[in-house]
C-alpha cells in the first residue's frame, strides 16, 4: 500500500507521460461518445450511419474542418431541419467533434441482408373512399413517425413508419405509393387496400427512391454502401446491385423514355440507366453536380454544386453545357417550382444560406429576378390556381411573391411558430401548410382566399406529396391550365357547353394531331372536323405550349 501511495505521489511531480495523455484523450473521446448518443443519435443513428439525418462517419464529413463542424453543432445548418445546440459548452462540442473523427467499422449490406430484412404485414384491408386520386396528398409527420393519406381537406388514414426521409413515390396508376427512410427501409402502401403491405431494407443509409415509367422496377440509391439497388416493384425482390465510387446525389426517372439519371455529389460523373434492360452507363462531366432537376419537358438537366457559384444547364441527350450563370449561394434545386405565364416557362429556387429566391426563365435561359424574402428558407411552391409563389424563410412568416409583379405580401399562419413547405391539391383548390413544431399543425387553406378550413394538430409535420404535383409527367398539363386561363376560358369550359364545345367532348372525339391543327389553323380544319363555320381564332403557340394545352384537354376525357 505504501508503494502505491509513493508511486502516485511521485507521478504528481513527473512530466506528463504519453500514457497520461492517452488516458485523457480516451476520456475525452468517451465524453464525446456519450454526448453524441444523448443529443445526436436520435437523428444520425447510434453508429453514425444516419437515420432521419445524414450519416456522420468520417468519410461523409471530411470536407468539413473542426471549426466548421463546431459551428454547425452550435448554430445548426441553414435550410435544414437540424436544431441548434447552443446550450452545449465549447468543450462538449469539441468532444463530439473528436468522436465524429474516429474511424468506424466497414459498413456492409449484402443481397442476403436485403432479402432477410423483408417483412410482410397482415393488416386488415379497408376502403379509403378515394373519389379522385389526383387530389390525394401524403403528409409526413416526422415527430410522430407517421404518414397521413389525405384527399382534399379530409384525412383518410394515418399509419406509423419510422424515420421517413421524404420523396414518397406513387405508381402512375394511383394504386400504390412507396416510402423511403434515411436508414434504408422502403415501405409499400396500397391505396386500393388502405394498408401498409410490406417493407424491406435496401441499405444502411438511403438517399432516394424512384420508379421506372412502367412501374416494373423500383430504384434505391444508397450512401451506405455506395450503390444503386434495383427491385422488382410488385414484390420488392432485389434483382440488381450496382456499386459506385462516390456519394449519389439522387436518381430521377424520365417519363418520355425508359431511362433514369443520377449524378455523384463528389465526383464529376453522370449516369444514365436503361430502366428496361437495367444497364448503367457513366459519363464524365467537367464538374460534379450535387443538386439537380430535370426540366418539365425532359430536355435539360439543371444543376449546381455546393461549393460552386453558378447554375448550369446541360442538354439531356448530349450532356453539353448550354447555359451557365454566376450566382451566390447554392440553389436548392430539389425545392424548385415551375409555372407558365405569357408564353414563357419559369422556375424559382431558394438558395443555401441566402435570404433570397431567384426566378429563372427556362428554354431562353436567363436570370429574371432575385427577390429578398427576409431569411434563408427551404421551399418555394406554386400552382396554376395561385397568383403567388409560396415561400418559407425560416421564421413564422409565409412569404407570398406575386408571379406577375414580383411584389411581396406576408402572412403569419401561427405566431412564433415556424412555417415550412406548402403543397397543393391536384386541382389547386386547397393549400396544405406545415407548422414545423412538436406542438405543430397541418393547416388546410383555400388557395385563392387564404381562408383556413382545417387545423390538424401534428408533431413536426414536414413534407407533403400530391399525386399530380409530385409527378413530372403531369407538369405540362399544369402549364396547360395556365394557358387555358390566358387564352381559352372565354369560349370554352372544361366539362360544360359554352360558346365552344367543352374540353371533355373534344378529348373524346379528337386525336392530338386534330386538336393541334384546330388550335393553330382552324380556318383550314373546321370543315374536316365537321363544323359548318369557323368562329375560332388561330393561336400561334410554340410546340411546348401546344403539348401543354392538349395534355390539359385530354385530362377531361373521362369526365
pLDDT band for 29, please (50, 70, 90 cuts). Answer: low
Evaluate if residue 546 carries a pLDDT over 90: yes
Q: Are 74 and 84 in contact (CB under 8 A)?
A: yes
DSSP per residue over 381-444, as a string?
E--TT-SEEEEE-SSSPEEEEETTT--EEEE-SSTTS-EEEEEE-TTSSEEEEEE-STTEEEEE
Q: What is the pLDDT of residues 372-409, one digit of tens each?
A: 999 999 999 999 999 999 999 999 999 999 999 999 99
- Least confident stretch, 42-56, 121-135, 495-509: 42-56
Residues 457-479 have a mean pLDDT of: 97
Residues in the chain: 559
3-state secondary structure 189-207: EECCCCEEEEEEECCCEEE
Torsion of CA 296, 285, 291, 348, to 10 degrees: -50
Q: What is the pLDDT of residue 359?
A: 97
Which pLDDT band holds residue 61 (cuts at 50, 70, 90)? confident
Q: Distance (Å, rounded) from C-alpha 229 to C-alpha 210?
A: 11
Whether pLDDT at 24 is above 90: no
Identify the pLDDT of residue 269: 97
Query: Cα–Cα distance between 451 and 413 in angstroms, integer?
Result: 11
Identify the weakest region by mean pLDDT among 55-59, 65-69, 108-112, 443-447. Answer: 55-59
Q: Please give the Cα distance from 135 to 133 (Å, whole number).
A: 5
Q: How do residues 274-314 score in pLDDT, each as one tens digit?
A: 999 999 999 999 999 999 999 999 999 999 986 778 899 99
Does residue 226 register a pLDDT over 60?
yes
Residue 16 pLDDT greater than 60, yes or no: no
d(CA 391, CA 399): 5
Q: What is the pLDDT of residue 21?
A: 45
Contact between residue 230 and residue 218 where contact means Cβ atoms under 8 Å apart:
yes
Q: How confident is the model at residue 257 (pLDDT cuts 50, 70, 90)?
A: very high
Which strand (E) or helix (H) includes residue 11? helix 2-11
Residue 25 has pLDDT above 60, yes or no: no
Task: Note the pLDDT of residue 47.
Answer: 84
Q: What are phi and psi of 94, to 5 degrees?
A: -60, -40
Q: How much is the average pLDDT of 28-49?
A: 86
Residue 31 has what pLDDT?
A: 87
Domains of the chain (ranges plus CATH)? 2-100 (1.10.760.10), 489-554 (1.10.760.10)
Alpha carbon separation from 438 to 141, 144, 209 (Å, rounded): 10, 9, 27
Task: Evaluate if residue 10 carries a pLDDT over 80.
Answer: no
pLDDT attached to residue 28: 55
Q: What is the pLDDT of residue 3?
A: 47
Going by pLDDT thresholds of 50, 70 and 90, the confidence category of residue 182 is: confident
pLDDT of residue 46: 87
Q: What is the mean pLDDT of the chain?
A: 92
Convert the pLDDT of each residue in 435-451 to its tens digit.
Answer: 999 999 999 999 999 99
pLDDT score for 203:
95
State the Cα–Cα distance between residues 253 and 239, nearest whole angstrom.
18
For residue 4, the model assigns a pLDDT of: 43
Rounded to 10°, the helix 18-39/90-100 angle is: 100
Q: What is the mean pLDDT of residues 478-503?
A: 95
Q: What is the pLDDT of residue 26?
A: 53
Lowest mean pLDDT among 65-74, 102-111, 466-475: 102-111
Mean of pLDDT values over 333-344:
94
Q: Would the pLDDT of 8 be above 80? A: no
User: Between the CA of residue 396 and those of 78, 332, 399, what are the distances in Å?
Assistant: 16, 20, 10
Residue 79: the pLDDT is 59
pLDDT band at 27 (very low <50, low <70, confident <90, very high): low
Q: Residue 251 forms beta bridges with which residues?
A: 262
Give the mean model confidence (pLDDT) for residues 164-176. Answer: 94
Amino acid at each position: 500500500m505504501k508503494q502505491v501511495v509513493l508511486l502516485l505521489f511521485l507521478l504528481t511531480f513527473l512530466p506528463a507521460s504519453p500514457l497520461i495523455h492517452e488516458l485523457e484523450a480516451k476520456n475525452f473521446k468517451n465524453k464525446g461518445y456519450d454526448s453524441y448518443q444523448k443529443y445526436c443519435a436520435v437523428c444520425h443513428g447510434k453508429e453514425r450511419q444516419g437515420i432521419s439525418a445524414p450519416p456522420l462517419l468520417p468519410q461523409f464529413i471530411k470536407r468539413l474542418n473542426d471549426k466548421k463542424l463546431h459551428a454547425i453543432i452550435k448554430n445548426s445548418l441553414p435550410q435544414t431541419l437540424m436544431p441548434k445546440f447552443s446550450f452545449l459548452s465549447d468543450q462538449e462540442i469539441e468532444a463530439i467533434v473528436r468522436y465524429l473523427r474516429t474511424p468506424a467499422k466497414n459498413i456492409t449490406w449484402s443481397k442476403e441482408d436485403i432479402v432477410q430484412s423483408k417483412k410482410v404485414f397482415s393488416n386488415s384491408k379497408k376502403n379509403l373512399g378515394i373519389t379522385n386520386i389526383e387530389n390525394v396528398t401524403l403528409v409526413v409527420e416526422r415527430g410522430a413517425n407517421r404518414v397521413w393519406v389525405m384527399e382534399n381537406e379530409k384525412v383518410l388514414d394515418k399509419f406509423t413508419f419510422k424515420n421517413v426521409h421524404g420523396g414518397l413515390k406513387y405508381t402512375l396508376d394511383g394504386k400504390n405509393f412507396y416510402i423511403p427512410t434515411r436508414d434504408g427501409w422502403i415501405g409499400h402502401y396500397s391505396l386500393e387496400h388502405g394498408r401498409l403491405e410490406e417493407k424491406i431494407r435496401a441499405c444502411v443509409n438511403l438517399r432516394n427512391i424512384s420508379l421506372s415509367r412502367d412501374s416494373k422496377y423500383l430504384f434505391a440509391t444508397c450512401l451506405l454502401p455506395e450503390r444503386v439497388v434495383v427491385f422488382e416493384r410488385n414484390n420488392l425482390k432485389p434483382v440488381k446491385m450496382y456499386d459506385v465510387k462516390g456519394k449519389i446525389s439522387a436518381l430521377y426517372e424520365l417519363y418520355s423514355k425508359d431511362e433514369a439519371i443520377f449524378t455523384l455529389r463528389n465526383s464529376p460523373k453522370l449516369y444514365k440507366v436503361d430502366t428496361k434492360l437495367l444497364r448503367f452507363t457513366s459519363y464524365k462531366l467537367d464538374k460534379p453536380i450535387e443538386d439537380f432537376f430535370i426540366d418539365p419537358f425532359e430536355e435539360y438537366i439543371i444543376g449546381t454544386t455546393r461549393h460552386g457559384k453558378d447554375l448550369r444547364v446541360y442538354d439531356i441527350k448530349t450532356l453539353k453545357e448550354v447555359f451557365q450563370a454566376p450566382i451566390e449561394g447554392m440553389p436548392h434545386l430539389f425545392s424548385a417550382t415551375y409555372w407558365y405565364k405569357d408564353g414563357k416557362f419559369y422556375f424559382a429556387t431558394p438558395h443555401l444560406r441566402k435570404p433570397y429566391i431567384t426566378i429563372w426563365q427556362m428554354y431562353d435561359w436567363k436570370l429574371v429576378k432575385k427577390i429578398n424574402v427576409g431569411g434563408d428558407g427551404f421551399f418555394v411552391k406554386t400552382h396554376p390556381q395561385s397568383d403567388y409563389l409560396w415561400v418559407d424563410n425560416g421564421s413564422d412568416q409565409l412569404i407570398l411573391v406575386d408571379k406577375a409583379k414580383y411584389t411581396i405580401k406576408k402572412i403569419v399562419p401561427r405566431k412564433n411558430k415556424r412555417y415550412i413547405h406548402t403543397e397543393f391539391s391536384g386541382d389547386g383548390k386547397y393549400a396544405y401548410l406545415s407548422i414545423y413544431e412538436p406542438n405543430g399543425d397541418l393547416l388546410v387553406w383555400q388557395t385563392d382566399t387564404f381562408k383556413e378550413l382545417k387545423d390538424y394538430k401534428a408533431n413536426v409535420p414536414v413534407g407533403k406529396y400530391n399525386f399530380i404535383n409530385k409527378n413530372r409527367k403531369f407538369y405540362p398539363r399544369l402549364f396547360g391550365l395556365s394557358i387555358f386561363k390566358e387564352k381559352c376560358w372565354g369560349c370554352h369550359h372544361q366539362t360544360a357547353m359554352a360558346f365552344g364545345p367543352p374540353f371533355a367532348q373534344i378529348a373524346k372525339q379528337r386525336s392530338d394531331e386534330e386538336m393541334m391543327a384546330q388550335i393553330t389553323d382552324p380556318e383550314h380544319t373546321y370543315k374536316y372536323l365537321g363544323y359548318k363555320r369557323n368562329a375560332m381564332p388561330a393561336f400561334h403557340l410554340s410546340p411546348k405550349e401546344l403539348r401543354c394545352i392538349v395534355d390539359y384537354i385530354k385530362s377531361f376525357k373521362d369526365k
